[in-house]
Structure 1
Amino acid sequence: MTGVPLPYDQRTPGARRARDLIRQVLGTAPVRVWPTESPDAKFAELPDGRRVVVKWPEWRNDVESIRAEAWAHRRCREAGLRVPELVAAADDPTCLITEVLPGETLADRDPREPATRAGWAEAGAELRRLHEIRLPGFGPLRARAGTARGAAAAWCPYLDEARDRGVAWLVDRGFLDRSAGDRLVRCLTRAAPALAELTDGRLLHSDLSGGHVLVGPDGFGGIIDLGQAQVGDPRWDFARVLLWDGDPALDALLDGYGREVLPDEERHTVLPLYLFAYCCHHAVGHPNDEYIALLLERSRWRALL
Structure 2
Amino acid sequence: MDPKPATPKLTVIEMDPVRLGEAIKSDFGIVLTAVEKTAKGYQSEVYRAKTTEGRMVFIRINKKGVAFEVESLGYKMLREESIPVPQVISYQENPPTIGHPTMIIEAAEGVSLEETNLSETEKEKIYQSWGEILRRINEIKLEGFGTLEVVDGKLRGKYKSYEEYCHSQENNYNEVVNTLVKNNLITPEEAEKLHRIIKEINSLNFGQASLLHRDLKKEHIFINHGKITGIIDLGRLQAGDPRNDIAKSLLYQNNKEKDFFKKGYGKLADDPIVIKYLAVRATTVALPRTKEGHKEVAEKALEILKKILSEF
Q: TM-score, normalised by structure 1?
A: 0.79
2:289 matches 1:279: no
What code does the residue aligned with 1:275 have? Answer: R
CA contact (8 A) 2:176 2:284 kept: no
* 1:98 aligned partner: 105
Alignment partner for residue 32 of structure 2, among 22, 30, 33? 30
Structure 2 distance, partners of 1:114, 1:265, is 28
Could you give the per-residue CA deviations for residues 25-63 of structure 1, whole angstroms, max 9, x where no partner exists?
4323421133445432222212221111211222xx751
2:209 matches 1:209: no
Which portions of structure 1, spanning 4 or more consecutive aligned residues, are displaced by more than 6 angstroms? none
By how many angstroms is 1:205 displaced?
1.0
In structure 2, the CA distance between the partners of 1:270 and 1:185, relative to structure 1 (3 Å rule), is: closer
By how many angstroms is 1:229 displaced?
1.0
How many positions carry a matched residue from both structures? 285
* 1:183 aligned partner: 192
Structure 1 distance, partners of 2:252, 2:233, is 16
* 2:157 aligned partner: 150
Alignment partner for residue 167 of structure 1, among 155, 164, 177? 177
2:57 matches 1:57: no
What code does the residue aligned with 1:298 have? Answer: A
Structure 2 distance, partners of 1:298, 1:137, is 30
* 1:291 aligned partner: 294
CA contact (8 A) 1:139 1:157 kept: no
Could you give the per-residue CA deviations for residues 271-304 of structure 1, whole angstroms, max 9, x where no partner exists?
4234235526xx48x7649735742541522123
Kindly name which structure, 1 or 2, has the bigger radius of gyration based on alpha carbons.
Answer: 2
What code does the residue aligned with 2:56 have? Answer: R
Structure 2 distance, partners of 1:17, 1:203, is 37
Structure 2 distance, partners of 1:104, 1:201, is 32
Secondary structure at the counterpart of residue 59 of structure 2: strand
Structure 2 distance, partners of 1:110, 1:183, is 40
* 1:7 aligned partner: none
By how many angstroms is 1:112 displaced?
6.4
Alignment partner for residue 146 of structure 2, among 116, 139, 142? 139
* 1:270 aligned partner: 276
Identity among equivalent pairs (%): 24
**RMSD, aligned CA:** 3.2
* 2:203 aligned partner: 194
In structure 2, the CA distance between the partners of 1:62 and 1:107, relative to structure 1 (3 Å rule), is: farther
Secondary structure at the counterpart of residue 158 of structure 2: strand
What code does the residue aligned with 1:81 have? Answer: I
Structure 1 distance, partners of 2:20, 2:256, is 37
* 2:259 aligned partner: 251
CA contact (8 A) 1:111 1:120 kept: no
In structure 2, the CA distance between the partners of 1:141 and 1:235, relative to structure 1 (3 Å rule), is: same
In structure 2, the CA distance between the partners of 1:31 and 1:62, relative to structure 1 (3 Å rule), is: same
Structure 1 distance, partners of 2:113, 2:84, is 16
By how many angstroms is 1:208 displaced?
0.6
2:228 matches 1:225: no
By how many angstroms is 1:263 displaced?
2.5
CA contact (8 A) 1:35 1:42 kept: yes
What code does the residue aligned with 1:183 have? Answer: E
Could you give the per-residue CA deviations for residues 68-118 of structure 1, whole angstroms, max 9, x where no partner exists?
111101111122221111111211131122111211111154666211321
Structure 2 distance, partners of 1:293, 1:219, is 29
Secondary structure at the counterpart of residue 253 of structure 2: helix
CA contact (8 A) 2:244 2:278 kept: no
CA contact (8 A) 1:104 1:216 kept: yes
Q: Which runs of 5+ in 2 are unaligned?
A: 1-12, 96-100
Q: TM-score, normalised by structure 2?
A: 0.77
CA contact (8 A) 2:285 2:297 kept: no
CA contact (8 A) 1:25 1:88 kept: no
